[in-house]
Structure 1
Amino acid sequence: MNEALCSILCDQDHWSFDPYVCKFIKFNKNGTGELWCVKDLTYIFAVNLERKSILQPKSDEVTETAETKTTANGKPQLLGKLNLEITLNSSVANSLTEGVPNWPSPNERYLSKAAFRTRFFTATIEKGNFIPDHWVGHEGKIKQRWGLRLLFDKSPYPTREGLKSPDEDPISVDHLEEMATFLARRLPDSETRGKAMNDDSFAGYRGSCSL
């Protein structure tokens, strides 16, 4: 197991898909964690998880740290990759139930048994200057940036099979299967000049025109 990379993964308070709503994943050093999906005061679910790191070949191990300087070419710096085994459980997230031992467990309202099966992921951690993916082309005048990006090869949120009503509100509007990129480590305002490294938009629009 790559101890340096696991330390970066677990040292963050959480990795956020959207900093303005409670959609984030959190990893603790003891192999536990949490996955939240709460939007506009609508509680969808917030579950605990168990995480194991699968040994990487030595050639894939990280040599940089989160403090390493960003590359001069303006591109994200790869810190390394981890193979993760993640299992969600139906209990309400520990950080939500602190001090409230009899908190009800509504997670099964939207999640089926398939949501709690063990799944395997490849997670890439990069250092740079990032905005949430859904901000690309829509970043306002008040800019915010994050210095670490966590990219899963697929969303850690439950698949359609793990959702009881994937085509009904509030699940249908969230596109959980697309939530595979998370950010951490808020950067100071001095780091918000210019475009974020993952901003491929032009004049406020994302994509390009075809001739």
Structure 2
Amino acid sequence: MTIGIIVAMLSELACIKDLLTDCREESNEGAIFYIGKRGNHTLILTQSGIGKVCSATRTLNMIYHYHPDCILNTGVAGGIDISTQVFDIVTGKEIVYHDVWCGEENEPGQIPEYPARFYSDPELLEKALSLQTSTRIYSGLICSGDQFITNRKELDKIKATFPNGLAVDMESASIAHVCYMNKIPFLSFRIISDTPGIEDHTTQYNRFWEEAPQKSFEIIKQLIDIL
């Protein structure tokens, strides 16, 4: 199986790159891809950059050049529900744009002619939830938009519109959207790095990276091994 893996940030790339053996670097249309093996799988890893445009463009580039059988989006997300804790993993059973509004005839987050919400592939989701680990893994709604969510007012606005939202990021929905258009199975697999809206939220986020997040990122290794 050829598995595409997309992360947004250099710090996330560093955590995932160790998964690849016999790794080589390729450039396509100015985009860098790392191609390697893990067991019987070929892995295609890339850092998209932050936000919807960067992630959508890189996803399409990956699909056209490498034809993956599925795409995994991993990295960090902010927890926006009292049930989420730092180092938990939230898999996006549903993914929505929290910053899209196209009029009363569409649901919040819905772009006309496309679903109001995108969904991770059911088989990939089931396998992710079946992992045996001390880390909490659960599924729910991930909300994506081109905003850093840093204060209570921003968080409350998202929760008022999407009360079931568990996590917020800047890429899952756009990657899911491109995969939907190209009929590629997709899974969002996000590690909670911080909980926006709390006092001294920035310190919490920075501390996450100081406390060896490699342990959490290694869970994606377990997922790949059972695909």
TM-score by length of structure 2 reads 0.25
TM-score by length of structure 1 reads 0.26
Structure with larger Rg: 1
- Greater relative contact order (Cα 8 A, min sep 6): structure 1 or 2? 2
